[in-house]
Amino acid sequence: MSHQDIIRIKNASFYAYHGVATDEQNLGGKFEIDVEIRSDLSKAMESDSLKRTIDYEAVYAMIRQIVTSKKFRLLEALANTIASELLTTYPQIDGVTVRVRKPHPPVKGVVDYVEVEVTEHKK
């Protein structure tokens, strides 16, 4: 039996320095990240062992490192970097969806947030 199971990390929040405008890169702002990991988790289910699954604490640490260690101009580039790093680091991941939100973006109007969603699959 083939499994297509999902691990989700929802609304991980970070203060970082991403954006096109100089003010965004200098002053920074809040960013919210959602990650949906698709993988066969049957071995973890059977063994009840952390070694047989994708450690979401380690995934969170990887996301935090990516979001806070480099300045990205575009949310698209940030989301793609997270997705690519997860697929490279965890060969058991079949696919990943990453959503990056920027609350109260600098647009000429009232907007709750802008969100970019990137989906990548194992090649």
Q: Is 109 helix (H, G, I), strand (E, B) or coil?
A: coil
Q: Pairing between strand 5-16 and 93-103?
A: unpaired
Phi, psi of 71 (to 5 degrees): -90, 130
Respond yes or no: is residue 123 known to be catalytic.
no
If you ran DSSP here, which 8-state letter would residue 91 be given?
T
Q: Which residues contact 25 (CB under 8 A, 6 or more apart)?
A: 17, 18, 19, 71
> Could you say which of 43, 102, 108, 123 is catalytic?
102
Catalytic machinery residues:
102
